[in-house]
Structure 1
Amino acid sequence: MPADSFTRPACRCLPCRFGNVPSGAPVHERAFETDMTEAEWDEVRAAIPPPPWLEGRGGRPEEYCHRRMLDALRYLADNGGKWRSLPEPFPPPRKVFDFFRRWVRQGVFAMIHSLLVKEIRRREGRAEQPTAAIIDAQSLKAAETVGAASRGFDGGKQVNGRKRHIVVDTLGLVLLVAVTAADVNDRTAAMALFDRLRLLFSQVTKVWADHVYDGELVPWARRHLGLDLEIPVHPGRRKAQGFKVIPKRWVVERTLAWITRRRRCVRDYERRLDHHAAFVLLAVGIAMSRRLAGRADAPARRVSRAAW
């Protein structure tokens, strides 16, 4: 690796300040397009909760920079590939995976995501708590790493794999995500998501969905949770009319398209359901941090294969 690939400014992440990161360790410059800019890191860093070891709740102080770990995970979410194929100058793949698994277990990715959503809504002139939402599901093929116990066959889409269910606000920001086997009925999954929606976003009273959520779910949501579930009417399918955007529904469809821009989310490669849900949050988190901080003034410097 060329000597100018690193700089040595003081890192402001908690492991570098109070943990076991070696004194004077080099800080990774932006070498890949997914690496965070200084402005992005400032937005994300403010949302990272203090680790247990810093608050005296046990655990060994961390020895790797949070920023470099998050850059490695963003690279993996955007480019796909195997864990063991993470290139330098990222930390060792096993350390990155252990970091990812621990943060999933502690719910850190969900906490960071929630705070970024609130900040975007605030800057857009919206209240932190949304009052309306849109729900949808997307079936995707599963790789051979996905066990038979957590996969199924979606007869409607002819997909053998898993299904991710998301709830977004009217800006298209993901509020909730759940991953199930592909054969789980959308209405069944929606009941569990609506329970979580009422618990975490108590001010939401209106939800839009497509026709697969019609039926008993509509009166159930109103009777048990006080949610007004509306199924927008399709404007028609006559060829003379061409493509028609369904009111409100296009917002969640756009968010699903944003998610599938990241290669790790095109298929499901994860052995655990919560791991794929975390990669969905990482995928939308890339767009959210850029929305808050703006694009980098200069493009990321490319790293040659010889430097790996």
Structure 2
Amino acid sequence: MIDSQSVKADAVAGTDSRRFDGGTLVNGRKRHVVVDTLGLLLGVMVTAADTGDRTAARVLLGQVADAHHRLELVWADGGCTGSLVAHCLTTLALVLAIVKRNNDMRGFTALPKRWIVERLFAHLMRSRRPVRDFERRTASAEAMVYWSMPQLMTRRCARPAPGRE
């Protein structure tokens, strides 16, 4: 699953990597993430908040496809439609499936498959440091996202299996 999240940037963040996202009305940066079906991070890219999802997804999916050769199917939201679907199929040998919203849904409802990446974003918000982007460079902001993942993985390992207490 691939998705993005806009976060506010602190004053120390460089003005070259901090912009205004008109969709979410956030002045800051945007995190683009790719997760597996368990919600574990496969790749992250931090850009200025005004960067489009298709533009960032093209670069990020290329990096993730190079690192994870068994990747075949990627779910995305409606922001990744258009020529990106054909690009993924021809260039990266990935099937990009768009998870569409039903007309009868109201408000913010996590769509099927979308809740996987939304759960990662919720974990990042609970990790305290990634709540707001305090980093000067985007590479440091990406490292902070990777840095929060061992906490998530160890919590899952330490959790007792259902029925075993």
The TM-score, its normalising length taken from structure 1, stands at: 0.49
CA displacement, residues 135-170 of structure 1 (integer Å, 9 cap, x when unaligned)? 000001111111111111111111111011110000
- For residues 174-198 of structure 1, what are the alpha-carbon distances to aligned partners after superposition, in whole Å with 9 as ceiling and x for unaligned? 1111111111111111111111111
User: Aligned ranges for residues 37-76 of structure 1 at < 5 Å?
Assistant: none
Aligned partners of 1:166 and 1:176: how far apart in 2? 6
Match of 1:277 among 111, 132, 142: 142
User: With CA pairs under 8 Å and 6+ residues apart, which has the higher RCO, 1 or 2?
Assistant: 2
8 Å CA contact 1:150, 1:180 repeated in 2: yes
Q: Give the number of the structure whose residues are more often helix, by fraction.
A: 1
Matches of 1:137 and 1:158, distance apart in 2: 14
Percent of aligned pairs sharing the same letter: 47
**Over the residues paired in the alignment, what is the CA RMSD in angstroms?**
1.7
SS in 2 for 1:260: helix
Corresponding residue to 1:179 among 42, 46, 56:
46
* Per-residue Cα deviation, 1:196-218 (whole angstroms, up to 9, x for no partner): 11111111110000001111111
Selected match of 1:215 from 82, 85, 92:
82
C-alpha contact (below 8 Å) 1:169/1:175 kept by paired residues: yes
Equivalences for 1:47-126 in 2 at 5 Å?
Answer: none
Deviation per CA, 1:85-137, whole angstroms, max 9, x where unpaired? xxxxxxxxxxxxxxxxxxxxxxxxxxxxxxxxxxxxxxxxxxxxxxxxx0000
Contact 1:166–1:176 (8 Å) recurs in 2: yes
Aligned to 2:163: none
What corresponds to 2:116 in structure 1?
Answer: 251
Total equivalences in the alignment = 160
Q: Which residue of 1 aligns with 2:96?
A: 229
Residue 164 of structure 1 corresponds to 31
User: 229-238 or 206-215, which moves further after superposition?
Assistant: 229-238
CA distance in 2, matches of 1:277, 1:154: 19
* Letter of the 1:181 counterpart: A
CA contact (8 A) 1:154 1:160 kept: yes
Greater fraction of residues in strand: 2
CA contact (8 A) 1:139 1:162 kept: yes
- C-alpha distance 290-153 of structure 1, shift in aligned 2 (>3 A): same
Name whichever of 282-291 and 142-151 sits farther off: 282-291
| Aligned twin of 2:156 | 291
Check conservation: 1:142, 1:267, Cα contact below 8 A.
yes
The unaligned stretches of length 5 or more in structure 1 are 1-133, 296-308
Instruction: Point out where structure 2 has 5 or more consecutive residues left out of the alignment.
Output: 161-165
Alignment of 1:267 with 2:150, yes or no, is no
